Structure 1
């Protein structure tokens, strides 16, 4: 709904809608078109309109003035266009008329996709498709080509000769193509997410981590700032952590980032980390990261926080804080467990068939990188598990302290044999305490999980395969 007229009355109506929980937006326009505010210019406008020459349209036009297919006699009069300035826009009626005429593909010609979004709320059928030729946050050529392609696959006739005019492209006869099937093997080079250019040239330090791009010391604050950019195009394995149809940065990635920051400032222990808001990764574009570490107190403890903002948003938009925690040094416990005897004595193997199908049924769609749970055993209240990265993801494991997909896979044993009492519901960790990393670069883990407290917390002691030996990794997760 668009409200036009006197400003005070329009604002009052908008406030009333907002009070009912409706979202409103003030349009950036020069005048209150289609309202009594236009009455003062109608006579002058009619004078101009009557001095023009009109031609009958060559294609049918559905008018926003009438909401129906307009006749040539009506649209070629000055009166029609005077009424068009003054009277209401019958957009809903116009879309419904197009739908009644059998139209199922709609192309918007304009500076953005505003009408496309509105039209989707107007149609009643399920077969409608919409394409906007321009988008304010996308390159013009990309947006135009996407719209043309969408219309083409929907059966619209595209004048390809006009599209490729002055490009030097020439049509290829189909007989020039081989008649045998192609061998569909891709040879595109794999672009590393670490390739970010020379950050030293702009006065920054290397972050030396796949999820971060650069680092900077904060001399006055005795702290550090890490920056990065996450996108599904540069970190495609993150698409494998889709929860309820939304790609989320896994909690284990927050832990990995905190551990990396601790390494930089000489803290070997993540005392605590609380996730405050999910970090959603968009299908297109990316998000900017800011990971900050504050000054050390008298005990050497340092505050830590992680913020993000969509890169498509303007600079004045606020950042979202996703996590806060505390790094410490000297408090890391010694490894008090041994998993070299494997599988543990007296442990009974747990059947894993259908584990990931069951998680999918409750909205946890894990991709290949995150489907790492290989085997599991139960002994009393304990669960032991083997987890491993798939071959492609394992190639990148050496660049991480502990690959987030690998640690996340270790958590998938929660709920097996009653551990964690999940009740068939999916859970995500949001608070971590006492995280210590003793070795890095693992592609496989041996895991021990056991209940550890009244808050359904679990203590996890993880053996990590690194350089052909088993090295320990220890953490506690208070809530999940």
Structure 2
């Protein structure tokens, strides 16, 4: 009955809901199964059903199954035909005091759905998928074990580490405290650039700056790698670690401030900057001489750090202006009056399904509110995140943009080819 199903799907899509075809061989739990029920019953009646060793909550009844129900062939006939009462089943588990849900399957779809089924908003209930789409299985499995462990579930780590020579060590009972006392410097094998006019800079992604001799231009330089800037590994797009567009924005704003330009009039990303798993990339940010109106052209290039003869690739190009944009208006109340709150619980699972693998540092969206065409968001970095050396931390600014995608509907962020939508053009940006 495809026409009827598509009509129902179109109705909910019109309400802004997401509809997706299931890749299954038959229309289970629908009238299309009626023709096989008698044959299925004959097979079920010829089987032996043993009493389960674990309690089972049924999505046929939405309650804990009795031994008699499990051993009744007619129950399994109903199992093929009747509706799936997933919400009732999850709430039955919640009523039994279950606080940790482990999904055994190829993806995290049920974990995402179950979060919308529980009645408690205390944050004490955990949903952990063993495997995730497009992620390496060993890492996903160990991450699931670790998540359960820190939530109070016993894990047999001795069996996990058997034969590896691993041993237990004493650790502090408090979170590790990081405090740096050393001045930032160039790498040990770098050439001292003071002889040719280079000076150290304070930006976290840059090392030095030099003014050009024959014009009023500046050249900023640095090296990036996943070893020196490990937090960048939390920004994965279609399996590759990319420097986020917000990092280019912060770099341009920093350079503009150094040369007396308070505004980023425009910035367009021309090519992604992919960070290799091993080694790094050399980065140059150039600021051209000022024009008659004070505006300057800014660009960002990179090449492999171990290839001194390699070709420089332009990743971003834009214009800096003397005048900064107007400061934003303040809020008299939070949340904004008459605004509608949007659900954010599974936004990063949905983005992951589109190929946007955001790690903890980039999962900063806390709440989103919509009021007509206006979108309000609360974003925050994890406690203890190192924000030194940035105007605005790229992960924080990136999280703010996630609110825009959520308000527009995450599903609409992909183009016809299925590629995830990423910001590539900026205009009128300034830092208050």
Q: Under TM normalisation by the shorter chain, which class is it?
A: 0.5 to 0.7
Q: Distance in 1 between matches of 2:364 and 2:321?
A: 30
Find 1:364's aligned residue among 338, 356, 364.
356
Shift of 1:215: 0.3
Q: Distance in 1 between matches of 2:413 and 2:252?
A: 31
Q: Secondary structure at the match of 1:219?
A: coil
Q: CA 1:412–1:200 in 2, change beyond 3 Å: closer, same or farther?
A: same
- 1:234-273 mapped onto 2 (5 Å cutoff): 234-273=228-267
Paired positions, count? 259
Could you list the runs of 5+ residues in structure 1 that have no partner in the other structure? 1-154, 156-173, 439-480
Q: Does structure 2 conserve the Cα–Cα contact (< 8 Å) formed by 1:277 and 1:321?
A: yes
Deviations 1:303-333 (A, max 9, x none): 11110001122x2221101111111102x23
CA RMSD of aligned residues (A): 2.8
- 1:76-87 mapped onto 2 (5 Å cutoff): none
Q: Does structure 2 conserve the Cα–Cα contact (< 8 Å) formed by 1:383 and 1:419?
A: no
Q: CA 1:283–1:302 in 2, change beyond 3 Å: closer, same or farther?
A: same
Q: Distance in 2 between matches of 1:398 and 1:255?
A: 16
Which residue matches 1:402? Answer: 392
Q: Normalised by the size of structure 1, how large is the TM-score?
A: 0.50
- 1:170-185 mapped onto 2 (5 Å cutoff): 181-183=168-170
Q: Does structure 1 conserve the Cα–Cα contact (< 8 Å) formed by 2:247 and 2:394?
A: yes
Shift of 1:200: 3.7
Find 1:212's aligned residue among 206, 211, 224.
206
Find 1:339's aligned residue among 331, 343, 350.
331
Q: Does structure 2 conserve the Cα–Cα contact (< 8 Å) formed by 1:194 and 1:209?
A: no
Deviations 1:37-83 (A, max 9, x none): xxxxxxxxxxxxxxxxxxxxxxxxxxxxxxxxxxxxxxxxxxxxxxx
Deviations 1:212-239 (A, max 9, x none): 0000001312100000000111111100
Find 2:403's aligned residue among 410, 413, 432.
413
Q: Normalised by the size of structure 2, how large is the TM-score?
A: 0.55
Could you list the runs of 5+ residues in structure 2 that have no partner in the other structure? 1-162
Q: Secondary structure at the match of 1:422?
A: helix
- 1:116-195 mapped onto 2 (5 Å cutoff): 181-183=168-170, 194-195=184-185
Find 1:275's aligned residue among 256, 269, 275.
269
Q: Secondary structure at the match of 2:384?
A: helix
Q: Distance in 2 between matches of 1:243 and 1:193?
A: 34
Q: CA 1:325–1:416 in 2, change beyond 3 Å: closer, same or farther?
A: same
Q: CA 1:229–1:188 in 2, change beyond 3 Å: closer, same or farther?
A: farther
Find 1:293's aligned residue among 287, 293, 303.
287
Which residue matches 1:33? Answer: none
Q: Secondary structure at the match of 1:433?
A: strand
Structure label with greater radius of gyration:
1
